[in-house]
Amino acid sequence: MPEWTRDTPWRQGHLLASESVAALGLIHPTHPGDTVVIVATHHCDLTQLPDREPHVEVIVGYRIQKLNGLNTHAKSPRTLHLEFEGNKPLLAEFVSAEKRSILKESLIDFTPDNDSRLSPSELVTFQLWLASRYRRSAFPNEFERRLSAAKLSDKIAKAVKPHGKMITAVFFDVDEGQEICHEGLDDVYVLDVTLLHTTEPDFYAAEAAANQAQAEIEQAFRARLFNAETGNWQGIELRYVDVISEEAMSYRQSKALKKWRLDHISLGADPQQPVLAE
């Protein structure tokens, strides 16, 4: 009987072939005919023998016809859209709730699907998405309430969605990183927004897309929260929306800014608890 060895062909990001999906009963509950199953366990754990690491984590997803810009580049910690290349390229959606654990022994008789694979950049996106489930930015609950009450969460998402492949992240800096409790709409949060865009394959197209989203976000904030008669902001003051490329962002900036995710969980405690850096 075959045994699991350190020379296993399985790697993180590999897809299970259709015969192994069927044999293991890993069928998507709502899209059974389009099931796609991806390995989530890291390479280092896959090479460990079953007596030390007996399980492999997989995620059951399904083929889609079109990428949704809100779910690319690990923008959402719950839903991810990935593009696979190879002899049989495909697009797929994965939801964190569809993660399953299977025994390594159950994969011994099967090999990965070599017709569809992730590019190195898409594999990094997959890894970032897996990590984001446990490492998310958290913003004060009152800030979130004000943003949602003004329907600005939807406005930001709407501005970013058409350019999802070119705008890779949205960062918030609230109160310059200080933990300040605000009472009343006249006591405003100060918000700086940074839009991060790609440099390849077309830097200028990506920059133009980010500039368009920048204008839409600025317009939405002024329309909802700025009183032109008094010259004052209500609830949240948007100081600026900055556009920067992936190559131009410094390591210091990446540590100081907090990524705003489209369905992240805010701090719900009362009183507000410290804001955690991502």
Closest CA to 112 of 9, 261, 37, 199: 9
* Lowest mean pLDDT segment, chosen from 16-20, 158-162, 207-211: 158-162
| Residue 76: strand, helix, or coil | coil
Q: Are 69 and 163 in contact (CB under 8 A)?
A: yes
Residue 213 has pLDDT above 90, yes or no: yes
Q: Which residue has the higher pLDDT, 267 or 184?
A: 184
> For all residues of the chain together, what is the average pLDDT?
88
CATH class of 141-259: alpha beta
What is the helix (H) or strand (E) element at residue 120, kind and residue range?
A: helix 120-132
For residue 185, the one-letter residue type is L
pLDDT in tens, 40-98: 999 889 999 999 899 999 999 999 999 998 899 888 889 999 999 999 999 999 999 99
pLDDT of residue 117: 95
At 224-267, the pLDDT tens digits run 999 999 999 999 999 999 999 988 888 777 767 788 876 543 33
Beta strand extents in 97-149 (DSSP E only): 99-103, 117-118
Chain region(s) in the chain for CATH 3.30.70? 141-259
The percent of the chain in helix, strand and coil, each rounded to the nearest 5, is 30, 25, 40
Task: Report the SS3 class of residue 157.
Answer: helix
* Of 235, 217, 213, nearest in space to 226 by CA: 235
Six-digit token string for 6: 């350190």
Query: Among the residues of 174-245, which ranges form H helices?
Result: 203-225
